[in-house]
Amino acid sequence: MTIRYNYYKDGKKKALTMSYDDGRTFDLRLVQLFNLHGIRGTFHLNSGKFTNEKYLSAEDVRDKFTWHEISGHTLTHPRLDKVSDEELIYEVMEDRRNLEACCGYPVRGMSYPYGLYSENIINMLRPLGMKYSRTTKATDSFRMPEDFMAWHPTCHHDSPKLFDLLEKFKTTDYPMALFYVWGHSFEFDKNNNWERIERFCAEAGGDDDVWYATNIEIYDYYAALRSLEFTADRTVVYNPTATDVWISVDGSPVRIAAGATVDLKTA
């Protein structure tokens, strides 16, 4: 019996996630585009700017992003490598409190302002409830991160490789391929290229072979998958989490329901 971790939700082999920073009002246009094509995104917000007319308001966050993930980006967008430990804690926790008051669930992820991070910063963020944090370092690949607290995306939406990568993603048989695109919505207005993301969403959306997920859904699924407990002979598996997962057994997907114990010899 050969067991592999090759599948996402519903036995799909590929996933797409989108990640946008800063919370400018252009996010309202972007989220409508995502909704149109069945794409889900994570929006990393600086809640200290809610009262600035160029940024999303608390009401916008509460009313317009219910199908997507609201995530942290610090309160005021400082360089985390230049602030004191006390200030870092304040920036992250105040942002969490404000965002959670809008979205109604625990904010467990973020992206690094300016993409700046270090081992010291990561070690400070973990006790603050952060399960992942996205960098700005492109991999041009579909690999899962080695450390979700240094989560490198596939590419920026302005990458000259964007559509080539999309074509590769559609045909890849890489196990658990993850296409992760990031950016800032104001860049589309600044560069007068909204048609770029409109084309991308039209070509990337609506694929029955792809799981369209938020950043935290990717994290939670992978964490649940890695939490599976097997008997010594690998024939029976127990899922101790609240998340259904799928594994490959002799090349076929097998669902391991939340809380279930499954005999793989008869599955």
For 168-230, the three-class secondary structure string (H helix, E strand, C coil) is HHHHCCCCCEEEEEEECCHHHHHCCCHHHHHHHHHHHCCCCCEEECCHHHHHHHHHHHHCCEE
Count of beta carbons in the 10 Å neighbourhood of residue 60: 18
Same domain? 42 vs 91: yes
Same domain? 46 vs 120: yes
Per-run averaged pLDDT (10 residues), the chain, 267 residues = 94 97 98 98 98 97 96 98 97 98 97 97 98 98 97 98 98 95 98 98 97 98 98 97 96 96 93
Which residues sit opposite 17 in a β-bridge? 180
Asked if residue 5 belongs to a domain, the reply is no
Same domain? 131 vs 179: yes
Same domain? 54 vs 142: yes
Asked if residue 6 belongs to a domain, the reply is no
Q: ∠199-205-209 over CA atoms, to 5°?
A: 140
Which residues sit opposite 249 in a β-bridge? 3, 252
Between CA 181 and CA 157 the distance in angstroms is 6
27 and 71 Cβ atoms separated by less than 8 Å: no
Asked if residue 149 belongs to a domain, the reply is yes
- In angstroms, what CA-CA distances link 158 with 135, 164, 179? 16, 12, 15
Domain, as residue range, for 182: 12-222
Same domain? 80 vs 208: yes
Same domain? 126 vs 249: no
Structure tokens at 142: 């579909």
Same domain? 157 vs 192: yes
Domains of the chain: total: 2
Same domain? 163 vs 234: no
Q: What is the CATH number of the domain that holds 93?
A: 3.20.20.370
Angle of helix 162-171 relative to helix 194-204, nearest 10 degrees, comes to 0
- The pLDDT of residue 267 is 83
- The pLDDT of residue 1 is 86
225: Cα within 13 Å, side-chain hemisphere = 22
Please state the pTM of the whole predicted model.
0.96
Asked if residue 2 belongs to a domain, the reply is no
- The pLDDT of residue 57 is 97
Asked if residue 3 belongs to a domain, the reply is no
Amino acid at 36: L
Asked if residue 253 belongs to a domain, the reply is yes
Same domain? 232 vs 208: no
Same domain? 162 vs 213: yes
Same domain? 44 vs 173: yes
Asked if residue 83 belongs to a domain, the reply is yes
Same domain? 29 vs 104: yes
Between CA 78 and CA 113 the distance in angstroms is 7
209 and 12 Cβ atoms separated by less than 8 Å: yes
Asked if residue 166 belongs to a domain, the reply is yes
